[in-house]
């Protein structure tokens, strides 16, 4: 551009000087061609040489602002929105530079706002519990949040730009995407993903026809917890119905038998009335356990925490179970490395925990067996265990023994009169007191339940005083 303008200015200067020289010669000499060749040409040459610097100056001052603006446009296109141009000495070029700088400032502001909105959108999508996947041309992944990666088992960062079918190994999800894109209609379907633990998802695919947007948006909602809770609800209703039906059936049968004439037989009357009383006690215990569990799970159970001596508490609970143990010729043993250990807990809740564990140990251990209670300090906690040498629990059943109404041996449990809620109550009470509970078992050799509860402040202070 500079060369063209320079030549234009130079030619303009030469042409102007030539015309002026020719007119002067015609006026002075009255002739044209001889004078031009003999007198004007040297003058034109001298004028042309003198015009070169002027043409260069004018061309440079005209082109330099334009080149500066062009250079600025290239820098802005590469992302440098802070660049400013000046426009040189020409008023028009300065106005053009000012307009260009305003445009650059507005672009910088708009791009900054877009970046902020983009980060906010990614943060929002990344924090959603629903999985979100944006599908582009050729089913390539344009965006996927962490939830989608966890549900479909792929790394969102590594999946960017790759086809969806390449990163997802679940044909059911791919099928829904293919059908939605083929029909150009939204699809919503529940699916179950088989693998390490069955999972339930609701998949919603919405195809988009705008060429400036992704081809489809996929939203994934994990409904595994809802299915699990629904299954628990169904199991709970079924178990409660069964537990209530069994004693009620016995009571009804006894009453009908008495009404049919057995009431006149003193021996039969005593036997049936005793059976009615036993089943009534069973129903009462079941209802009390249900109410207790409901209060604990709802958070309505009010805990009054205080310092409790384990030695005294365990001794009292063992004394309550001793007559039943002696009736089965069982041995109850108490061991402790620190008899003065105390916990920070609710007394009523701790009594309920110990009674349930000891009751189970005595109930399910065969005659002549041994139940041993021991405890020891474990950092900020005191861990106590109730161990028996009974039949034990199969390994497959251990993860579920704290579920409501779950029984390892259903027939034997009902025969012994358990409600199936004791261990569930133990778990919830322990967690409410910020403790932990776990069970270990060796089939044929016995089971051990271990409870860890926070130590009392005095217990911790006493240990600190001894150590110092």
Average pLDDT over residues 106-124: 73
What integer pLDDT is reported at residue 308 of this predicted model? 86
pLDDT reading at 20 higher than 60: no
176-195 tens-digit pLDDT:
988 888 888 889 988 888 76
Domain co-membership, 335 together with 444:
yes
Average pLDDT over residues 72-101: 71
What integer pLDDT is reported at residue 32 of this predicted model? 46
Domain co-membership, 310 together with 420:
yes
What integer pLDDT is reported at residue 2 of this predicted model? 46
What integer pLDDT is reported at residue 61 of this predicted model? 65
Domain co-membership, 309 together with 432:
yes
The CATH number that applies at residue 461 is 3.30.565.10
Contact 426, 357 (CB under 8 A): yes
What integer pLDDT is reported at residue 193 of this predicted model? 80
Identify the sign of the CA torsion 342, 343, 349, 350.
Answer: negative
pTM above 0.85, yes or no: no
The CATH number that applies at residue 274 is 1.10.287.130
Q: With bands split at pLDDT 50, 70 and 90, how would you rate the model's confidence at 449? A: very high
Domain co-membership, 441 together with 335:
yes
CA 224/CA 236 separation, integer angstroms: 18
Average pLDDT over residues 437-443: 88
pLDDT reading at 62 higher than 80: no
218-275 tens-digit pLDDT:
999 888 888 877 877 777 777 777 777 878 888 888 888 888 887 788 888 888 888 8
Domain co-membership, 326 together with 247:
no
pLDDT reading at 212 higher than 50: yes
pLDDT reading at 397 higher than 70: yes
Domain co-membership, 163 together with 192:
yes
Identify the sign of the CA torsion 137, 141, 142, 147.
Answer: positive
Quick check: is 312 in a domain? yes
pLDDT reading at 356 higher than 80: yes
Domain co-membership, 268 together with 407:
no
Cα distances from 417 to residues 117, 137, 359, 364, 394, in angstroms, run: 64, 65, 11, 11, 21
278-298 tens-digit pLDDT:
888 878 877 877 777 777 776
Domain co-membership, 311 together with 404:
yes
* CB neighbours of residue 15 within 10 Å: 11
Domain co-membership, 132 together with 50:
no
What integer pLDDT is reported at residue 378 of this predicted model? 80
Three-state secondary structure call for residue 357:
helix
Contact 283, 314 (CB under 8 A): no
Q: How many domains would you assign to the chain? A: 4
The region of weakest confidence among 125-134, 153-162, 402-411 is: 402-411
Average pLDDT of the chain, as a whole number:
77
* Domain span at 400: 303-467
126-136 tens-digit pLDDT:
667 788 888 88
Quick check: is 53 in a domain? yes
Quick check: is 98 in a domain? yes
Domain co-membership, 287 together with 324:
no
């Amino acid at each position: 551009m500079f060369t063209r303008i320079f030549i234009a200015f130079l030619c303009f200067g030469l042409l102007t000087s030539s015309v002026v020289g020719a007119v002067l010669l015609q006026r002075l000499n009255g002739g044209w061609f001889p004078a031009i060749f003999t007198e004007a040409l040297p003058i034109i040459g001298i004028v042309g040489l003198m015009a070169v610097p002027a043409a260069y100056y004018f061309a440079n001052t005209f082109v330099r602002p334009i080149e500066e603006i062009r250079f600025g446009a290239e820098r802005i296109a590469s992302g440098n929105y802070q660049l400013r141009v000046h426009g040189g000495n020409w008023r028009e070029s300065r106005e053009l530079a000012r307009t260009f700088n305003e445009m650059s400032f507005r672009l910088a502001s708009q791009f900054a706002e877009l970046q902020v909105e983009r980060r906010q959108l990614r943060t929002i999508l990344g924090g959603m519990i629903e999985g979100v996947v944006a599908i582009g041309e050729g089913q390539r992944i344009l965006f996927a949040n962490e939830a989608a990666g966890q549900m479909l088992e792929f790394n969102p960062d590594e999946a960017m730009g790759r086809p969806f079918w390449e990163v997802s190994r679940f044909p059911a999800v791919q099928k829904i995407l293919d059908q939605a894109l083929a029909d150009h209609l939204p699809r919503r379907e529940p699916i179950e993903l088989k693998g390490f633990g069955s999972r339930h998802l609701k998949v919603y695919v919405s195809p988009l026809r705008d060429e400036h947007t992704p081809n489809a948006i996929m939203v994934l909602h994990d409904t595994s917890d809802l299915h699990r809770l629904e299954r628990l609800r169904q199991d709970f209703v079924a178990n409660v119905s069964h537990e209530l039906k069994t004693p009620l059936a016995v009571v009804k049968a006894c009453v009908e038998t008495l009404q049919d004439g057995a009431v006149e037989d003193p021996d039969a009357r005593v036997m049936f009335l005793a059976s009615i009383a036993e089943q009534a006690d069973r129903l009462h215990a079941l209802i009390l356990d249900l109410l207790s569990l409901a209060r604990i799970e709802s958070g309505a159970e009010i805990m009054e925490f205080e310092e409790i001596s384990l030695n005294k508490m365990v001794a009292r609970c063992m004394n309550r179970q001793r007559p039943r143990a002696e009736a089965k010729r069982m041995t109850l043993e108490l061991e402790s490395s620190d008899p003065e250990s105390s916990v920070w807990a609710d007394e009523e809740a701790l009594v309920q925990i110990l009674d349930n564990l000891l009751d189970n140990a005595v109930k399910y251990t065969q005659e002549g067996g041994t139940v041993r209670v021991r405890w020891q300090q474990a950092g900020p906690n005191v861990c106590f265990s109730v161990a028996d040498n009974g039949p034990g629990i199969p390994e497959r059943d251990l993860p579920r023994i704290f579920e409501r109404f779950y029984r390892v041996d259903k027939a034997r449990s009902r025969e012994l009169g358990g409600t199936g809620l004791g261990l569930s109550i133990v778990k919830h009470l322990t967690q409410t007191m910020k403790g932990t509970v776990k069970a270990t078992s060796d089939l044929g050799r016995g089971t051990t339940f271990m409870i860890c509860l926070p130590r009392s402040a005095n217990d911790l202070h006493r240990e600190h005083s001894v150590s110092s």
